[in-house]
Amino acid sequence: MIKQQLLNRIADKSAVIGIVGLGYVGLPLMLRFAEVGYKVIGFDIDQSKVDALMAGRSYIEHIPGEAIAQSLGRGFEATSDFSRAPEADALILCVPTPLNKYREPDLSFVLNTIDSLVPFLREGHLVSLESTTYPGTTDEELKPRIESRGLTVGDNAFLVFSPEREDPGNPDFTTRTIPKVCGGVTTACQEIGVALYSAVIDQVVPVSSTRAAEMTKLLENIHRAVNIGLVNEMKIVADRMGIDIHEVIRAAATKPFGFVPYYPGPGLGGHCIPIDPFYLTWKAREYGVNTRFIELAGEVNSTMPDYVVSKIASALNERKKAINGSRILVLGIAYKKNVDDMRESPSVILMEKLRDLGAEVSYSDPHVPVFPKMREHRFDLSSVPVTPETLKTYDCVLLATDHDKFDYAQLKAHAPLIVDSRGKYLEPADHIVKA
C-alpha cells in the first residue's frame, strides 16, 4: 500500500525531503530535517542561492554558515534542477505569495512552482504547501494540477497545507518549538502530513481540511493587523490630546487579564501582516462578504508612513527648516528589530516619501550594510556609520526600526532632532518628537 510505504519511510528516516524555496521559511526547515537525520534536497530558481549553500555560505543573517556546512555534511544538496524532484518523497513548497499592484493575491510563484514540478511528480509523492494564501488555494489550484499527472490525491499521491510560522530573529521560538498546523485534502493526506511534520516539530496541530489550515494562518496575522491598526489609531488620538500612547500601553499591560499589548509604529512590515488580510478580503468577495473591519485596519495601517512624514515636516518647520533640502538619516530599514529582512518594510516607504519631498536621505542599519535590489524600490545607498560627528551633520534622525545595536544614549546626546516612531525614548526632551 502506497500510503503505508511512505509512512514507513518517514518513520525510519529513509524518506528524502525536497524543500522548494530556500528563503526565510525553507532554509530553517531544511536545517531541521537535516538535523534529525533526513536526506534533504533544496530547490531554488535562484542559482546564486544554490551556489552559496553548496559552498557552505548563508545569505540570511540569523542562520550561520556553520549550520549550512553541517547540513552539507549530513547529505544536504541544493539545486535549481527541478527534474530531480522524483528523488524526493515529500515536496514542501515555501515560496512567496505577495500582492500585485492592485493589492490582489499574486499566486504566480506558487503556480509556477507547482507547474514546474508537475512533469516530475510520481506515485507516493507528498506535496505540502506552506505559503500563506486564501482558503481554497490547495484544493482549487494544486489538487487539479497534481491530478493532471494521472495521480489521485489521497490514493497514490498526497497533498496538505501546513502554514509557515517562522519568526526571524526571535530567540525564544525555533522551527522545532513552534506548533505546526496541518490540514490534508483527505484523511490519508492528513495522516502522512502529520507524520512528516511530527518527525521534526514538537507539536503538530491537525485541522479538518486544507481550507481550515489556510484560514488559521490568515486569522493569526489578521488578528495582529487589526490590533495594530487599533493602537495606531489610538496613537494619533493620544498625540492630539498630548498623551504618550506608549505610557498608556505600558500601564494597560499591567492588567493581568483581558488585555494584550500591541505597539504602534511607522507602518506594517514583513511578509505576512501587511499582505495576508488582503488574501482574505479578496476571496471573501467571491462569497458576497464585505470584510469592512479588516479593510479599515488596513487603511489605518497604510496611512502610518504619511503620519510619520507629517511629524517630520512639523518638527523641521518648528526649527525653520523644510523637508526639501534637509539631510535626513533613517535609522533601521529592516521591517522589524534585529533582523536583516527587508520585505514590505515601512522604512523603505518612508525613505521614498522623504526623497520625493526633496530630502537628502541616508540610512544606517547594522543588519543591512547595502540597500538590496528590490522589485519595487530602488536606492543606491550603503549604511552609514553612526558617530557623534556624523549625527551632527543631519537635520533630522528618524528612528524607523529600533535595533538593539543602536546606541540610543549617543543618539540622544548628539542628534539635533530625533523623530521616534517606535516609542524608544521614554523621557520627553525638546529635540525628541514622538511619531
User: What SS3 state is found at 188?
Assistant: helix
The per-residue pLDDT for range 244-277, each reduced to its tens digit, is 999 999 999 999 999 999 999 999 887 677 788 8
| Burial of 44 (C-beta count, 10 Å sphere; 0-12/13-18/19+) | buried
As a whole number of Å, the CA-based R_g of the chain is: 24
The per-residue pLDDT for range 203-221, each reduced to its tens digit, is 999 999 999 999 999 999 9
Strand ordering across the sheet containing 126-129: 77-79, 39-43, 16-20, 90-93, 126-129, 158-161, 180-184, 204-207
The per-residue pLDDT for range 275-290, each reduced to its tens digit, is 888 899 999 999 999 9
**Which one-letter DSSP state was computed for residue 384?**
P
Please confirm, yes or no, whether 189 is among the known catalytic residues.
Answer: no
Tell me how far apart the alpha carbons of residues 277 and 175 are, in angstroms, rounded to a whole number: 24
Cell of 265: 509604529
Residue 190 carries which side chain, given as an amino acid letter? Q
Ordered structural domains, the chain, with CATH = 2-212 (3.40.50.720), 245-434 (3.40.50.720)
Q: Which of 94, 182, 272, 396 is catalytic?
A: 272
The per-residue pLDDT for range 338-354, each reduced to its tens digit, is 999 888 899 999 999 99
Give the pLDDT of residue 113.
97
